[in-house]
Amino acid sequence: MDTLFTWLIAAIVLGFFVIRYWRANKRSEALAHAAAARGANFSDGPKAQHPHIHADSCIGCGACVTACPEGDVLALVGGKAAIVNGHKCIGHGLCAEECPVGAITMVMAKASASADLPALSESLETTVPNLFIAGELGGLALIKNAVNQGVSCVNEIANRLEDLRSGTHTENVYDIIIAGAGPAGIAASLRAAELSISTLTLERETVGGTVSKYPRQKLVMTSPVEFPLHGKFRKTQLSKEELLAFWEEVMRRTDLNIHTNEGIASVTRESNGIFSVRTSLGEYRARTIILALGRAGTPRKLGVKGEELPHVLYRLIEADHYTHKNILIVGGGDSAVEAAMGLAHQPGNRVTISYRSAAFSRLKDRNAKRIEEHIRANKLEVIFNSVPSEFREGSVLLDVEGETRELANDVVWIFAGGTSPTNFLKECGIALGSVELSQSEKEQSHPALAILT
């Protein structure tokens, strides 16, 4: 009797875990299908490193799904791990680390994306001599990689400086101009200060780069990294605000020459090898350049009154951060309607799209269908033949076929296209092509990192 009872208890316990696993699996599949229905697939995904799942080896345990710090990038589909929200992947590689059977390898971007990346030497030099690239612009994401690459570019330049200085006794020439003050640019600027190299850093917006644009209190995952003027930075999880405060504190320890709100417009190389950098405010010269511009590109501005207000934005990172808001989306392309639909799903939002044409004409079929459904269900409003004429605190003025209409407004997103960093690289004369990481870079970034060919 006792034995029967023990077997019964064991069966109940086993049944409990089997049902839990089955339900988790189902939930995961439902999430995957929902993501697919939203059109969130890998084609909109990162141009940097990401997981590659070997379906033959995957045992469907879901360890990778749980390990991903960015949420629903992976899910179990048909009992196997699959990428369902590739655009959210930023290449941490924890999924690969947690996979008990080694079924995940971290790979670089797809060949099509690699064609947009700069060809770089082992020392991160482009095909233009003494013009270097650090951070995500080179195709490798993550803060620790940006920091390591910023530092290593400056170390390489330091080795060449004696030669470069003796070749050019020119007045008013910096040793280095660093473009961009995200993690790569900050680390490069600090390393240059540590080595007393004359440097100018030019930043289009404010210091902090993409990190400063993360949603409030976003948990940042990173790995221990050697930080100039500080030593080993050991924290592996901290809020975006804590990370920005740490950088500010380190930057206060030295005199950095950083011009914020001054973006670079062009880089040209004179016949004597000196670079000339033109910005929105002036022109500067340098013996070497480090481009640390990230991959976000430059959004096109409308030139409308009030566009400089802080609630006028050009990039939506997380829609669920915005609730109970009056929102205006300007534009009629896929990015505009996807953002509008994402925001319309958040509680309490009233979303309006302003589009200058009489109808949407260049949407993917999937988006064209979904936006129609959203309009029919009154989930959002579209005002065709309209352009914004002024952004104000609390409202926006639209010119609708010659008549002015005022809408209550808390946040505006403008999706009017822009310039990709690829075009900028081409204008600088930098050759693009497939990027082969050196062995040391592969090891630095992730033990399981491989190149996808």
Tell me which residues touch ligand FAD (CB under 6 A). 90, 135-137, 141-143, 146, 179-185, 202-205, 209-211, 214, 220-222, 263-264, 292-294, 296, 317
Return the residue matching tokens 């040793």: 175
Q: Can you spell out the DSSP letters for 422-448?
A: HHHHHHTT--B---PPPHHHHHHH-TT
Least spacing, CB of residue 220 vs ligand FAD, in Å: 4
**For 401, which DSSP code?**
T
Short-list 304, 270, 299, 302, CA closest to 285: 270
Amino acid identity, position 439: Q
Q: Which is nearer to ligand FAD, 201 or 326 (CB)?
A: 201
Tokens of 120: 């770089």
* Coil/strand/helix, residue 49: coil
Distance CA 351, CA 370 (A): 15
Of 393, 389, 378, 319, residue with least CA distance to 354: 389
Q: 170 or 266: whose CB is closer to ligand FAD?
A: 266
d(CA 24, CA 144): 33
Q: To the nearest whole angstrom, how small is the minimum distance from the Cβ of residue 215 to ligand FAD?
A: 7
CB of 393 to ligand FAD, least distance (A): 24
d(CA 388, CA 395): 11
In the bound state with ligand FAD, the residue whose beta carbon lies nearer, of 25 and 189, is: 189
Tell me the C-alpha distance between 337 and 367, whole Å: 7
Instruction: Compute the least distance from the CB of residue 48 to ligand FAD, in Å.
Output: 7
Q: Residue 275 is which amino acid?
A: F
Strands (E) across 61-215 are located at: 74-77, 80-83, 104-107, 131-133, 174-179, 199-202
Q: Which is nearer to ligand FAD, 209 or 388 (CB)?
A: 209
Structure-token pair, residue 15? 């049944």
The string of DSSP letters for 9-46 reads HHHHHHHHHHHHHHHHHHHHHHHHHHHHHTT--GGGS-
Q: Closer CB to ligand FAD, residue 221 or residue 400? A: 221
SS3 58: coil
> What is the smallest separation between the CB atom of 102 and ligand FAD, expressed in angstroms?
23
Specify the residue, 142 or 337, whose C-beta has the smaller distance to ligand FAD.
Answer: 142
Q: Quick one: residue 124, left, alpha or beta (phi over 0 = left, psi -120 to 50 = alpha)?
A: left
Q: Which structure tokens are listed for 10? A: 């064991």
Tell the smallest beta-carbon distance from residue 179 to ligand FAD (Å). 5
For ligand FAD, which is the closer residue by CB, 82 or 124? Answer: 124
- Report, in Å, the least distance between residue 211 CB and ligand FAD: 5
Collapse the DSSP code of 262 into the 3-class scheme (helix H, G, I; strand E, B; otherwise coil) and give the result: coil
Q: Which is nearer to ligand FAD, 262 or 334 (CB)?
A: 262
What are the structure tokens assigned to 428, written together? 């600088």
Number of H helices, E strands in the chain: 12, 26
What sign for the dihedral angle of Cα 156, 159, 164, 169?
positive
298: tokens are: 């430059």
* Closer of 96 and 353 to ligand FAD (Cβ): 96
The answer to whether 331 and 386 have CB atoms below 8 angstroms apart is no
Q: How far is the CB of 396 from ligand FAD (least distance, A)?
A: 25
Q: How far apart are CA 33 and CA 39, in angstroms?
A: 10
Min dist CB 369 to ligand FAD, Å, is 28
* Closer residue to ligand FAD, CB minimum distance, 163 or 443: 443
Q: Which is nearer to ligand FAD, 223 or 395 (CB)?
A: 223
Work out how close the CB of 47 gets to ligand FAD at its nearest, in angstroms, rounded to a whole number: 11
Q: Which is nearer to ligand FAD, 179 or 328 (CB)?
A: 179
Q: What's the angle, vertex CA 297, arms to CA 432 and CA 444, rounded to 5?
A: 60
* Least spacing, CB of residue 36 vs ligand FAD, in Å: 21
CB of 201 to ligand FAD, least distance (A): 9
